[in-house]
């Protein structure tokens, strides 16, 4: 155990790095949730049968006949949801504190890979109950893949093993969810922690570099243990009070209305409501992923401050940009819904232009105006400018996700819950 602790921690750490607001314990919480997922997943394997004929019935048997079966399934489901949320918050924390530069460049890329693996783990597990919600959510989720140019349809057919979800799809998703992805997650998490240690541990401001060095045991390990206990209590209490969703058995002949992708893909599905599929499912997501991977290698020319948001100007510009992203995203959704749909308004123009290039150019034009009117006057450094773009993309995606989850009703029409 001592060797394991030293693999992920140095013998001593700076006392300044022990402050909770340095990391909020997010990395350790994500690691604990992965362990919970693996343990509860192993227990569920004893009763789950990965076939369309028996998968749903095995879940019903687990719920009604197995002692604590419902509780174990709840814990597995909700810990997966919490894992995705906490991994995302950890990703934000690393960026907003500048802990992605210099010796940490490669680890940033491994962090992105881990975040994608967590998304794919949730996605493959979503299908396993084989109920209406799972069947049609994965149908929509995999349909997004078909919008990729040239290879989209072939790639979707290869992933699901046919034109629609079938027994082969369920078996493939089961194998990835229970074997391939957990193995990759474990290996990469250990490597990720090791690289953090080799880079010097938690990034702290230069003003705290002369802080006293203290033994990792018990100073850091004790704090991690307390955070782990609190997180475990939250997960178990939540799992005891809230059941994991389970609808009626999957029926390929009867689709749900509305038919939505899993909640973490709701932003992409919402984007498809406003942009041509080539832009919504390929150009924009690919551009965002390239930008995120490129961030550590952008030559900034400025010395990292290691503070949240880099500086007061960085914090001010980020707040303003977050507000701008909310306003422009909500305005775009409402404009497209109630004022003007470019594809309908310009039927003689190819949809790729009317519903793709034109709205994207308008969006970029509005962003340029915001830059010239407000951002340029602040004279931000290159790191702060990158942060502004990052904040805009993240906030816009969050707004799209919220709109897709809570404000899309029957036939995917825009609805408002407070309306009678």
| Residue pLDDT, tens place only, 309-351 | 888 898 999 999 999 999 999 999 999 888 888 777 788 888 8
H helix intervals, 199-304 = 216-241, 266-272, 277-278, 284-294
Predicted confidence at residue 212, as pLDDT, reads 80
- Give the confidence band of 420 by pLDDT, cuts at 50, 70, 90: very low
| Per-chain mean pLDDT for the chain | 90
Hey, CA dihedral for 372, 378, 382, 387, is it positive or negative? Answer: negative
* Beta carbons of 193 and 31 less than 8 angstroms apart: yes
Lowest mean pLDDT among 3-17, 18-32, 78-92, 216-230: 3-17
Assigned CATH class of 1-250? mainly alpha
Percent of the chain topping pLDDT 90:
63
Name which of 164, 156, 113 is nearest 135 in CA terms: 164
Cα 224 → chain centroid: 24
* Beta carbons of 132 and 214 less than 8 angstroms apart: no
Predicted confidence at residue 68, as pLDDT, reads 94
| Residue pLDDT, tens place only, 83-118 | 999 999 999 999 998 888 888 899 999 999 999 999
- Give the confidence band of 207 by pLDDT, cuts at 50, 70, 90: low
- Give the confidence band of 123 by pLDDT, cuts at 50, 70, 90: very high
Predicted confidence at residue 352, as pLDDT, reads 87
The phi, psi pair for 50, rounded to 5°, reads -80, 65
How far apart, in Å, are the Cα atoms of 246 and each of 66, 91, 241, 250? 17, 30, 15, 10
Predicted confidence at residue 200, as pLDDT, reads 78
Predicted confidence at residue 2, as pLDDT, reads 58
Sequence spans of domains, the chain? 1-250, 266-420
* Beta carbons of 141 and 119 less than 8 angstroms apart: no
Q: Between residues 74 and 213, which one has the greater pLDDT?
A: 74
Distance CA 189, CA 183 (A): 10
How many helices (H) and strands (E) the chain has is answered by 20, 2
* Triad 249, 252, 255: Cα angle to 5°: 90
| Residue pLDDT, tens place only, 382-410 | 889 999 999 999 999 999 999 999 999 98
N- to C-terminal Cα separation, the chain: 59
Lowest mean pLDDT among 70-79, 149-158, 276-285, 299-308: 299-308
């Amino acid at each position: 155990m001592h060797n394991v602790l030293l693999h992920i921690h140095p013998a001593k750490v700076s006392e300044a790095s022990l402050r909770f607001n340095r990391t909020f314990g997010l990395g350790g919480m994500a690691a604990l949730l992965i362990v919970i997922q693996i343990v509860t997943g192993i227990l569920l394997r004893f009763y789950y049968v990965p076939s369309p004929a028996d998968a749903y019935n095995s879940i019903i048997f687990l719920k009604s006949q197995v002692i604590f079966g419902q509780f174990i399934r709840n814990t597995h489901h909700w810990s997966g949801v919490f894992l995705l949320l906490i991994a995302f918050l950890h990703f934000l924390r690393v960026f907003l504190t500048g802990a992605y530069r210099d010796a940490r460049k490669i680890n940033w890329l491994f962090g992105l890979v881990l975040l994608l693996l967590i998304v794919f783990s949730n996605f493959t597990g979503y299908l396993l109950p084989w109920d209406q919600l799972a069947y049609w959510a994965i149908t929509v989720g995999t349909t997004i893949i078909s919008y990729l140019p040239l290879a989209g349809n072939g790639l979707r057919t290869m992933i699901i093993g046919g034109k629609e979800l079938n027994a082969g799809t369920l078996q493939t998703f089961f194998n990835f969810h229970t074997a391939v992805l957990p193995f990759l997650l474990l290996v990469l998490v250990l490597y990720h922690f090791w690289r953090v240690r080799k880079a010097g541990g938690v990034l702290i401001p230069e003003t705290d570099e002369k802080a006293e060095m203290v033994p990792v045991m018990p100073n850091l390990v004790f704090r991690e243990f307390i955070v782990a206990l609190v997180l475990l209590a939250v997960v178990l209490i939540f799992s005891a009070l809230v059941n994991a969703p389970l609808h009626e058995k999957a029926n390929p002949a009867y689709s749900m209305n509305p038919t939505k992708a899993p909640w973490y893909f709701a932003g992409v599905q919402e984007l498809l409501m406003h942009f041509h599929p080539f832009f919504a499912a390929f150009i924009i997501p690919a551009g965002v992923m390239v930008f995120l991977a490129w961030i550590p290698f952008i030559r900034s020319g400025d010395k990292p401050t290691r503070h949240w948001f880099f500086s007061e100007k960085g914090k001010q510009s980020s707040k303003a940009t977050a507000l701008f992203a909310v306003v422009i995203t909500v305005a775009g959704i409402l404009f497209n819904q109630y004022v003007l749909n470019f594809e309908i308004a310009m039927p003689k123009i190819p949809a790729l232009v009317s519903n793709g290039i034109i709205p994207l150019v308008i969006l970029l034009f509005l962003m340029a105006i915001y830059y010239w009117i407000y951002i340029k006057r602040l004279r931000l450094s290159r790191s702060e400018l990158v942060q502004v773009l990052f904040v805009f993309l993240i906030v816009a995606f969050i707004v799209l996700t919220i709109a897709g989850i809570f404000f899309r009703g029957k036939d995917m029409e825009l609805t408002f819950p407070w309306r009678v």
